[in-house]
Structure 1
Amino acid sequence: MNRRRCATAAAISLVCALTALVAPGAAFAATPLAPSTPLAPLFPAAPEPLPPTGAPGASGASGAEKSLEEVRLEIEGLYHQAVSATDAYNLAEEETERQSAEIVKLSQEIVKGQARIDDLKLRAGAAARAQYRSGGLPPEAGLLLTNHPGLFLDGLGRVQQSLKATHDLLKDLKRTQSELASYNKAASAQWQKLEANRLKQAEAQKRIATKIAAAEKLENALEKEERARMLVLEREAANRAQSAWLSTGALKTTTGNAKATTGGQKAVEFARAQLGKPYAWGAEGPGSYDCSGLTSEAWSAAGKGIPRTSQEQWRRLPKVPVDQMRPGDLIIYHADASHVGMYIGDGEIVHAPRPGRTVSIAGAGSMKILGVVRPD
């Protein structure tokens, strides 16, 4: 019996020591967060194309005024730069929305974690107060001082349970504090990303406005007859590119007669229904669209969510060979994946071309094709 009393005395001392750790006044604050290092940009600024022949800074052999074709190419180059900036703006907006949602989610976890810590502190405080009232020993410890074997064993079991409960309480508190610190750190990182993307949006918006204003200034300086003639030149250039593309045999396989899936057909029908609506940067309908706003909304109407921007559509959607495309597939244009149109069959696409134009049908090869992606 003396050996038992010696063994249990050590257990009593351990319970008392652990209980003292959660006594009132003990600190349980989460580890303060160190200032975060500013994050690198999520994506680099789109490089601006070199000025086309005849653009400011380029002159003819005799220094004569630019031809109407040179002016058209300059305007086209400015609008292309605006469209590239629009894609950067849309991507920043998409990332901002995603980060805002993540911050809300983390905030909810932080609130729940703090409530859990408050509850654990209350339980720890109650245990400490009970110990104080019993003269520094848990109530079960008195049973260990009895000479009755049954009561002694019962008391020993209760002390062991108390020891485990105290250990579990401290372990739970430590884990919850660690989780709370992680949530705080993640929320801080997401907030920095959010602010970085807001800055990206503002910079892209400024680039868009500058390029569109420059293009409109050039276009508005033309006489009415010159603007009409420029439209003819634009169509002629598109037809030449389409003819050159067709001459490669791109549609000499089953592509010309490929059947759309049910989803693809719905997407095509939606896109066709938008014909005549104006292009507007960052627009997703219903009154106006930019190029990727049209394709993403068309596939959304077909019940399939796809990335918002042409660059992300190119990066994340499955790629298919040009000679295997079918209606509903998306054709990505230019080396920087800054434009997208929806293939509708027979060598044609429906797309939102650029500022100053409306949703229209064009030859699939009227612009330089980067590749084809398939949403479904």
Structure 2
Amino acid sequence: MSGRVLRLLCTAAVAAQAALVPAAATAVPQPPAEPGKPSVAALLTSLQTLYRQAEQSAGTYDATAAQLSRARTESQRLDAALARARLALRDSRSAAARLAQQEYQGTSDFSPYLRLLLARDPQHALEEGHVLDQLARQRADTVRRLAGDERQAAGLARAARTALGTRLALARRRQQARDDVRGRLHDIEKLLAGLSTQQLTALATFEQSGLTQAQTRLLASGALGEETPPTQEGQTAVRYAVQQLGKPYQWGATGPAAYDCSGLTSRAWGRAGTPIPRTSQEQWARLRRVPLNELRPGDLVIYFPQATHVALYLGGGMVVQAPRPGARVKVSPVAANPVLGAVRPDPAGQPLPRYVPPKLPAGAAVGPDTAL
């Protein structure tokens, strides 16, 4: 996004926060639309659609990047195995060539039985026969090894070609997802650039009002329950996430200079010694799910029906998150976005006997909260 649009968004966000009383549960009335221009609700819907599409495309990009990394590792493994197989095949072929040469040079019109009958020393001939049997077995082993090496090399060559094709397809898919994200963000910038400062302020105020209502309803419902302390790993993940406050959102980024939503959560838990899947969809699909009334600091809160956004639970009804393009890592209410559920990266961990939440710096909650 351009610097002008970012400045307008920051101005609008600050104005919106100043206009609202945090404890209020009543939305600020929507201002009337200007003649010939869409209403604030319509603008918010358009932005929600564009941001959601951008985040879905960014999720596809992240997932494809992770798949491409795994495919690259597998391709390199297959290439190395194929190189070893070809060396073994070369050795087997050399052994087979020597065998053929020996057979050619040792050709005789006399059969082994006739040589035994005509031998001056039959005992010596029998001993020679034993040696010949051993040689025959060695020759048979050489032939079997050659055939096996040929099959292995052929199989590895096919697997390597398939792996290369997979890598190329994933690279094309990642590029397509990247272009799609850039296109969506360009549409967002174009929409925001066409709004006046008053419209931006009204938009941010309207958005913040809805967030306040959602958080109030969630807390009043008792859905969060009574919290337990995090595990040692959860505490480490929380403290790392808090240290990232103020860093910019950048889709596809995993730190340390910038993050997208799942880049922040995966990096925080990676620093805690518990690697987790890279994307919010994989985190939702593969990690242990926990009810909201059992949330503890360090758990991950997943948002939207397609699991396209994720935040790290801080405690007290708040999360640390990288909200969206143009925003920065911040502390937000847990109800900043429609909650899908929660997952726990360390379900077998033991909660700490005592937990002191990290001290938040000034301005930790400044900025837009919704991922839209």
So what's the TM-score if we normalise by structure 1?
Answer: 0.78
- Correspondence 1:167 to 2:140: yes
Aligned equivalent of 1:34: none
- Counterpart of 2:189 in 1: which secondary structure? helix
- Correspondence 1:90 to 2:37: no
Contact 2:96-2:146 at 8 Å conserved across structures: no
| Displacement of 1:132 | 2.4
Unaligned runs of 5+ in 2: 1-31, 347-372
Taking the TM superposition and a 5 Å limit, the aligned residue runs for 1:266-281 are 266-281=236-251
Q: 2:294 pairs with 312, 315, 324, which one? A: 324
Aligned equivalent of 2:321: 351
Change (3 A) 1:158 1:84: same
| Displacement of 1:123 | 1.1
- Counterpart of 2:148 in 1: which secondary structure? helix
| Displacement of 1:131 | 2.5
Aligned equivalent of 1:125: 97
Taking the TM superposition and a 5 Å limit, the aligned residue runs for 1:288-299 are 288-299=258-269
Q: 1:81 pairs with 53, 68, 85, which one? A: 53
Q: 2:125 pairs with 122, 127, 152, which one? A: 152
Identity of aligned residues (%): 33
Structure 1 distance, partners of 2:91, 2:325, is 59
Contact 1:89-1:201 at 8 Å conserved across structures: yes
Contact 2:75-2:163 at 8 Å conserved across structures: yes
Taking the TM superposition and a 5 Å limit, the aligned residue runs for 1:11-50 are none
- Correspondence 1:286 to 2:256: yes
- Counterpart of 1:296 in 2: which secondary structure? helix
| Displacement of 1:63 | 8.9
Aligned equivalent of 2:107: 135
Aligned equivalent of 2:203: 230
Contact 1:143-1:151 at 8 Å conserved across structures: no
- Counterpart of 1:247 in 2: which secondary structure? helix
Structure 1 distance, partners of 2:37, 2:109, is 100
Structure 2 distance, partners of 1:150, 1:159, is 14
| Displacement of 1:249 | 1.7
| Displacement of 1:196 | 1.5
- Counterpart of 1:335 in 2: which secondary structure? coil
| Displacement of 1:191 | 1.5
Change (3 A) 1:66 1:136: farther
Contact 1:348-1:364 at 8 Å conserved across structures: yes
Unaligned runs of 5+ in 1: 1-59
Aligned equivalent of 1:38: none
Counting matched residue pairs gives 314
Contact 1:265-1:327 at 8 Å conserved across structures: yes
Contact 2:89-2:153 at 8 Å conserved across structures: no
| Displacement of 1:141 | 8.9
1:317-352 deviation digits (Å, cap 9, x = unpaired) = 122222212111111111111101011111111111
Aligned equivalent of 2:83: 111
Aligned-pair Cα RMSD in Å:
2.4
Q: 2:182 pairs with 197, 209, 224, which one? A: 209
Structure 2 distance, partners of 1:132, 1:374, is 71
- Counterpart of 2:340 in 1: which secondary structure? strand
**Which of the pair has the greater relative contact order for Cα pairs under 8 Å at 6+ separation?**
2
* AA at the equivalent of 1:305: P
Structure 1 distance, partners of 2:113, 2:312, is 79
| Displacement of 1:246 | 2.2
